């Protein structure tokens, strides 16, 4: 029987154990008028209990997906905050 307590609160709880990871609902960072579409999704690998951030960048119908650690995503958040408030 599946132990729901294993899922992080943000997990969609869809096929996690088969995929070996928990996956959140993608969240759009922007709107249709932006030059580049950005969607952020949280991942947690079952084997490592490490949260990752997957960014899907779409430009001219071509999507590039990159995955960074949660720590790196937090650092990126701080760096961008500093740059934009400078
Ligand atoms: Zn899950």
What is the 16 CA–ligand 1 centroid distance (Å)? 5
The whole-number pLDDT of residue 35 equals 92
pTM: 0.83
Which residue in 62, 1, 11, 4 sits closest to 41, CA to CA?
Answer: 11
Question: Which chain residues have CB less than 5 Å from ligand 1, an ion?
Answer: 7, 11, 13, 16, 22
Which residue in 31, 58, 30, 55 sits closest to 42, CA to CA?
Answer: 55
The whole-number pLDDT of residue 1 equals 46
What is the 70 CA–ligand 1 centroid distance (Å)? 17
Domain count of the fold of the chain: 1
The whole-number pLDDT of residue 25 equals 97
Q: Could you list the residue range(s) of the whole structural domain that residue 8 is in?
A: 4-85
Residues 14-71: tens digit of each pLDDT: 989 888 899 999 999 988 889 999 999 999 987 777 899 999 999 999 999 999 999 9
Residue 5 clears pLDDT 90, i.e. is over it: no
């Amino acid at each position: 029987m599946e132990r729901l307590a294993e899922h992080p609160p943000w997990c969609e709880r869809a096929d996690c154990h088969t995929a070996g990871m928990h996956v959140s609902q993608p969240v759009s960072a922007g709107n249709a008028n932006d030059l580049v579409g950005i969607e952020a999704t949280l991942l947690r690998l079952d084997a490592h209990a490490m949260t990752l951030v997957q960014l899907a960048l779409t430009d001219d119908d071509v999507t590039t997906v990159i995955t960074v650690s949660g720590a790196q995503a937090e650092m990126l958040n701080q760096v961008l905050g500093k740059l934009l408030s400078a």
